[in-house]
Amino acid sequence: MSTRQLLKRIEKVHGRMFPKRDEGAFTLEELCRTIWREDEKTFRTMTSENSCSLRHFIPQFEREDLLERSRGVPAVRMNTNY
């Protein structure tokens, strides 16, 4: 395999692993995490209905918060109460 072919393959894999994104766009998970970090209670209230599929993010966010606390790294919370 030539160097050129190898570089092309590496570029292709890199493009799949790290797709270019519009900086103004967010994934649903990123949006939910932002709401969770801003006000956990509001996010739980929003997702309290049985038909809400966003509830599946809650265990993930709880695990991430627990992991951050166990590392001694405070979870980034956005406090809007001044």
DSSP state for residue 49 in the 8-state scheme:
S
Number of domains in the chain: 1
Give pLDDT, residue 37: 92
pTM tops 0.85, yes or no: no
- State pLDDT tens for residues 13-54: 888 887 777 777 788 999 999 999 999 998 999 888 877 889
Give the max Cα distance, the chain: 62
| Residue 2 covered by a domain | no
Q: pLDDT tens-digit profile of 69-81? A: 898 866 555 554 4
Strands (E), the chain: none
Q: Establish if 58 belongs to a structural domain.
A: yes
Tokens of 52: 């809400």
For the CA atoms of the chain, what is the radius of gyration? 19
CA distance 5 to 8: 5
Q: Which whole-number Å values give the CA distances from 55 to 8, 45, 82, in the listed order?
A: 41, 10, 29
